[in-house]
Structure 1
Amino acid sequence: MNATALADSTPKAQGYAMPAEFAPHDACWMLWPQRPDTWRFGAKPAQQAFVEVATAIAESETVYVGVNDEQYENARHQLPPQVRVVEISSNDAWMRDVGPTFLTHPDGRLAMVDWQFNAWGGLDGGLYFPWDKDRRIRTKIAEMLGIPRFTAPVVLEGGAIHVDGEGTLLTTEECLLNPNRNPGMNREAMERVLRDTLSIEKVVWLPRGCHLDETDGHVDNLCCFVAPGEVAMSWCDDETDPQHAICREALQALESSTDAKGRKLRVHKLPQPGPLFIEEDEASGIDRLSSSHPRRPGDRMAGSYVNFYIGNTVVVMPLLDPRRDEQARDILQGLFPDRRVIGVPAREILLGGGNIHCITQQQPQSRRPR
């Protein structure tokens, strides 16, 4: 089957739905960092971190890394042979947000959603310009896989949503209802789009994402489903920290909600790393451009252990704070007893504005057409 763009028929109407991240995968998709106004010192430190993430996930499933042509040989040399390097041009390396949201059908078919993308706010607070190459990534992956591509009528990044695979979706009002994404849309209108596109039945709205998260509050940095009815969330005990109030709001929203099956949500708290701040030497290696988000010495980073990737047999988590890394790893291992939790030094990814979940996108298990 050839890749087809579908705009006049919804995924729900055709029987497609978005599986949970903890459901079985066929592959994981990533992009290669090289942008000098995002990644310091020509992205060399970030590239090493991406290699470690890709290597860890490749223990569990096939990993594809999309690379701009001028970085192809460098990426192929650095990445292990089991990781597949493919030429996909991009403006930056955030596959979670610029890549497809994959859908599956009960008969085993695979499809994808092509959301609108404006670099986290367009000209009103967006993180870089232009984003034309990023807009074409989903089309290219649909062509490579030969699967249908449903075009969606709203701006939405993959990190803005988490689903349990049983009809429930987590998101934040700060992001999805932000005027720089979808001006004029209210909760009811957005929920209709989410139901028709992802075949979910209930949206659990959290007020805000993590403090100073430059994505305008992506939920994947604050909380996520780890199993049906169970959520992991970043937690701050320091009442003087602005993150404390955000966590209390989110906890109240989660504990007062039920999922699509009527279950009360069980919340597992992960300690917040840090607070973490950009050091002088880290900021000095980044190109300063008027069209990109500034990264200055002393700026606080939105570090979170929730920004992990759930693979088939591994969970790949960021190592961010030696005082709390092991505690977070132990909690995650308890939540995923059948998967091996692998910690990867991830400060270089955080310096670019995100973390492990932000640079990965799972491709669920399916029976694709030949």
Structure 2
Amino acid sequence: MPIPDLSRRSVLRSLAGAGALALGLTACSELDDPDQDGAAAPGTGAAGGRRFGAEWEKHTRTFMAWPASENVWGDQLDDVRKDIAGLAAAIGAREPVVLMARPGQEEAARQACGNDVEVIPLPVDDLWARDTAPVFVEEGGKVRGVDFNFSGWGNKQEHGNDAKVARTLLTKYGIDRIATPVVAEGGSFETDGLGTLVLTESSVVNANRNPGMSRDRVEEELKKALGVTKVIWLAGVKGKDITDAHVDCLMRFVAPGVVLLDKAFPGTPADVWSRSADQAKSVLKGATDARGKKIEVIELSQPDPDRITGRGDAFVSSYMNFYIGGKGVYLPRFGDARADDQARQVMKEHFPDREIVSVKIDAIASGGGGIHCATHDQPATGG
């Protein structure tokens, strides 16, 4: 049932206040017949050679969005806009960034972000481009976009504009739209680019997104839409944050067969989030990827909650919510110097040819998200 006039940030805060959330937790050629469009055909993927590429592959651009509404952010709006501007400028110095801004707010966004960021007028409600933009796949030498029917994370936040972002972007850039009956968000999915998809059951097999749809049916539709051949399900956590525990705050691929996994700061009392990470560790260590290979799991601890500079009941202190750009890896800086440095070193080991860029995002993180939530990569044709 919809929760009227509540932001991602305020929903998270109210859930946390009830004891539910702990630190570290969130001209187009339309093809609107999902059964016809997603029919299996010969190829490298499950649907006619369709492939959901890994984030570390070459990008055409990175999409971001300018936070638009005081109804969503209240007195935090100026601070979160500064964070978005800083992040957009950091990425824009290294690869093309397109920032969507509500008409009438473009000039302020341009002035804040600088000349390296292209600002386009496009109606948005909030900053979470990972969830509102289409999920891009490659097929037949072209990039196409899956529209996952954004619903404000199950009607928890106003989303009249954000629900149209995927379709609008695809039309603007002349990219074919792939329809699917599944309601989901970009932060729901993690892939190795070789046919493996990892996601939390809590965020997709959920009556607030896909009522009456079984896990088997969801998996079937995801294979059609994304071209993946192996789906690994993690349990996740229902009803404790607005996303119902997106996978991109829990684990990330850093190479085929290698994942980073969030771990609570040592000595932190067990809670639903640490138990979720333990369950994910068990599943991943026992799983094989689409190639039949075992998966290596590397745990990365959260920072000391007494040393971080950000605050708030909804604050996300997971290093998992990083973004892999073409020339840089963008990693949150939380203020615990030891933990921040450890996270940088881990990233450097896995991405030695990319600059590791630490970005302070305290205002974004206070709203229950992170760098990955605020960015969305469009792959270049051919990877």
TM-score tier after normalising by the smaller chain length: 0.7 to 0.9
What one-letter code is carried by the residue in structure 1 that aligns with 2:270?
D
Correspondence 1:195 to 2:223:
yes
1:195, 1:79 → 2: CA distance? Answer: 38
**Alignment map for 1:226-245 (pairs within 5 Å):** 226-236=254-264, 237-238=266-267, 240-242=269-271, 243-245=273-275
User: Over aligned residues, Cα RMSD in angstroms?
Assistant: 2.3
**Which residue of structure 1 lines up, in the alignment, with residue 331 of structure 2?**
317
Asked if the contact 2:307–2:335 (Cα under 8 Å) also holds between the matched residues in 1, the reply is: no
Asked if the contact 2:53–2:138 (Cα under 8 Å) also holds between the matched residues in 1, the reply is: yes
Correspondence 1:43 to 2:77:
yes
Which whole-Å deviations, capped at 9, do the CAs of 1:97-121 have from their partners, x for residues lacking one? 011101112x431110111121011
2:307, 2:121 → 1: CA distance? Answer: 34
1:276, 1:156 → 2: CA distance? Answer: 34
**Which residue of structure 1 lines up, in the alignment, with residue 182 of structure 2?**
154
Given the superposition, is the C-alpha separation of residues 27 and 302 from structure 1 closer, same or farther in structure 2, using an over 3 Å criterion?
A: same
Distance apart, 1:194 and its partner CA? 0.8
Number of aligned residues: 345
**Alignment map for 1:180-259 (pairs within 5 Å):** 180-208=208-236, 212-236=240-264, 237-238=266-267, 240-242=269-271, 243-259=273-289
**Which residue of structure 1 lines up, in the alignment, with residue 148 of structure 2?**
115
Distance apart, 1:42 and its partner CA? 5.7
**Which residue of structure 2 lines up, in the alignment, with residue 290 of structure 1?**
none
User: For 2:62, which of 28, 31, 35 is the aligned residue?
Assistant: 28
* 1:97 alignment partner, SS class: helix
Asked if the contact 1:91–1:133 (Cα under 8 Å) also holds between the matched residues in 2, the reply is: yes
Distance apart, 1:360 and its partner CA? 0.5
Which whole-Å deviations, capped at 9, do the CAs of 1:248-306 have from their partners, x for residues lacking one? 11100100100010111111211113448999xx9xxxxxxxxxxxxxx9624332100
Given the superposition, is the C-alpha separation of residues 266 and 246 from structure 1 closer, same or farther in structure 2, using an over 3 Å criterion?
A: same
Correspondence 1:7 to 2:41:
no
> Which contiguous aligned blocks of 4+ residues in structure 1 show a shift greater than 6 angstroms?
276-279
Asked if the contact 1:277–1:299 (Cα under 8 Å) also holds between the matched residues in 2, the reply is: no
What one-letter code is carried by the residue in structure 1 that aligns with 2:80?
A
Asked if the contact 2:61–2:96 (Cα under 8 Å) also holds between the matched residues in 1, the reply is: yes
What one-letter code is carried by the residue in structure 2 that aligns with 1:356?
I
1:269, 1:278 → 2: CA distance? Answer: 20
Distance apart, 1:179 and its partner CA? 1.3
What one-letter code is carried by the residue in structure 1 that aligns with 2:278?
R
Given the superposition, is the C-alpha separation of residues 278 and 340 from structure 1 closer, same or farther in structure 2, using an over 3 Å criterion?
A: closer
What one-letter code is carried by the residue in structure 2 that aligns with 1:339?
R
Asked if the contact 1:210–1:221 (Cα under 8 Å) also holds between the matched residues in 2, the reply is: no
1:357, 1:162 → 2: CA distance? Answer: 11
* 1:195 alignment partner, SS class: helix
* 1:113 alignment partner, SS class: strand
Given the superposition, is the C-alpha separation of residues 300 and 363 from structure 1 closer, same or farther in structure 2, using an over 3 Å criterion?
A: closer
User: For 1:135, which of 163, 173, 176 is the aligned residue?
Assistant: 163
1:350, 1:40 → 2: CA distance? Answer: 15
Asked if the contact 1:68–1:88 (Cα under 8 Å) also holds between the matched residues in 2, the reply is: yes
1:234, 1:184 → 2: CA distance? Answer: 31
Which whole-Å deviations, capped at 9, do the CAs of 1:196-235 have from their partners, x for residues lacking one? 0001011111111599443101000110111110111111
User: For 1:301, which of 302, 315, 323 is the aligned residue?
Assistant: 315
Q: Which runs of 5+ in 1 are unaligned?
A: 283-296
**Which residue of structure 2 lines up, in the alignment, with residue 18 of structure 1?**
52
TM-score by length of 2: 0.85
What one-letter code is carried by the residue in structure 1 that aligns with 2:243?
T
Deviates further, 76-85 or 39-48: 39-48
Which whole-Å deviations, capped at 9, do the CAs of 1:329-364 have from their partners, x for residues lacking one? 111111211111100001110112211000100000
**Which residue of structure 2 lines up, in the alignment, with residue 289 of structure 1?**
none
Correspondence 1:75 to 2:90:
no
1:332, 1:212 → 2: CA distance? Answer: 29
* 1:263 alignment partner, SS class: coil
Asked if the contact 1:278–1:351 (Cα under 8 Å) also holds between the matched residues in 2, the reply is: no
2:308, 2:254 → 1: CA distance? Answer: 30
TM-score by length of 1: 0.87
Asked if the contact 1:209–1:222 (Cα under 8 Å) also holds between the matched residues in 2, the reply is: no
**Which residue of structure 2 lines up, in the alignment, with residue 57 of structure 1?**
91
* 1:170 alignment partner, SS class: strand
